[in-house]
Amino acid sequence: MQILDGVAVSAHIKSQLKQEVEQLKANGGKTPHLAAVLVGNNPASEAYVGSKVRTCQELGFDSTLLRFDTDITEAQLLEEVQKLNKDKSIDGILVQLPLPDHISPDVVINNIDPSKDVDGFHPITQGKMLLGQKSFLPATPYGILLMLEHYNIDVTGKHCVVIGRSNIVGTPMTILLSRNANPGNATVTLCHSKTKNLKEITLTADVIVAAIGRPKYVTADMVKEGAIIIDVGINRIADATRKSGTRLVGDVDYEDVAPKSSYITPVPGGVGLMTICGLMKNTLEAAKQH
């Protein structure tokens, strides 16, 4: 079993990005500038946005964090997005999800300028990706592809089972794994909460991408010997042995599954860090295009 080490891989990618930005600036190019929008004070969202902003600083990107109270209206938030769309200094816009219930994430995402959609959530971005046209890739699936590339894991002809059908992870992951590209050319099955014979299907998987949002959902009895395990989940569970009283676990029962796997991503220290790499690569690309 080999750990797919998000700490090491993301450090490698970030050092490449840092060099590229230095060169871009030295050649008179634009400093990539990411705007992050955070509504409310959900602790997980605070942590994610904080680490995106810190990564910008680390790489020599500019960043702007816009914070709004939970009672901001949808119309007001759309106005703020429009300001960012028009602001020529901004290359990438990310609106951290989830948003409060009175704001439609679809409406907000649809109003982001697709040329600044570095999260890869806009319908135009996802439509282009679906058709195999050049586009930003959704940050998490992009990060997973970067991880597979780094370890020279070829998924051609392999059976990849994606568990979870969200617009931002599961569904785009199935498209990217099955497209005629590298990485790609896998045979893909999409499973979700209503799948009846999940275990039967996962037992035939060469690769499992777990993105269902349920702690320790994938257990060893669901996994074929030698499978590659990509765990997208970030779930906080109670743990009385920790000072904080909680700890993070993935959608995979790591201790149970790891001995059976050929490769596995840990949580934390796996896919989460790769998502930020995907986002940063998209932001650099946006700056080049702008």
- Binding residues vs ligand GUN (CB under 6 A): 94-97, 119, 139-140, 275
Measured from the CB of residue 95, what is the shortest distance to ligand GUN in angstroms?
A: 6
Distance between CA atoms of residues 36 and 79, nearest Å: 15
Taking CB positions, which residue lies at the least distance from ligand GUN? Answer: 97
User: Smallest distance, Å, CB 199 to ligand GUN?
Assistant: 27
Q: Which residue number, 265 or 275, has a Cβ lying nearer to ligand GUN?
A: 275
Contact 74, 107 (CB under 8 A): yes
Which lies closer to ligand GUN via its Cβ, residue 119 or residue 253? 119
Token pair belonging to 199: 């275990």
Nearer to ligand GUN, 113 or 206 (CB): 113
Distance between CA atoms of residues 36 and 93, nearest Å? 6
| Distance in Å, CB of 52 to ligand GUN, minimum | 8
Quote the longest CA-to-CA distance of the chain.
57
Helices first, then strands: H and E counts in the chain: 10, 11
Q: Is 239 a catalytic residue?
A: no
Q: Which is nearer to ligand GUN, 25 or 102 (CB)?
A: 102
Nearest distance from C-beta of residue 212 to ligand GUN, angstroms = 14
Place of tokens 């008179």: 28
Amino acid at position 53, single letter:
V
Rounded Cα–Cα distance for residues 123 and 140 (Å): 16
Copy the structure tokens of residue 205. Answer: 């998987």
133 is catalytic: no
> Which of the following is catalytic: 5, 14, 52, 126?
52
91, 119, 231, 253: the catalytic one is 119
Residue 281: active-site member: no
Could you give the CA distance from residue 194 to residue 187 in angstroms, rounded to a whole number?
21
Residues 232, 209 contacting (CB under 8 angstroms):
yes
Residues assigned a catalytic role: 52, 96, 119
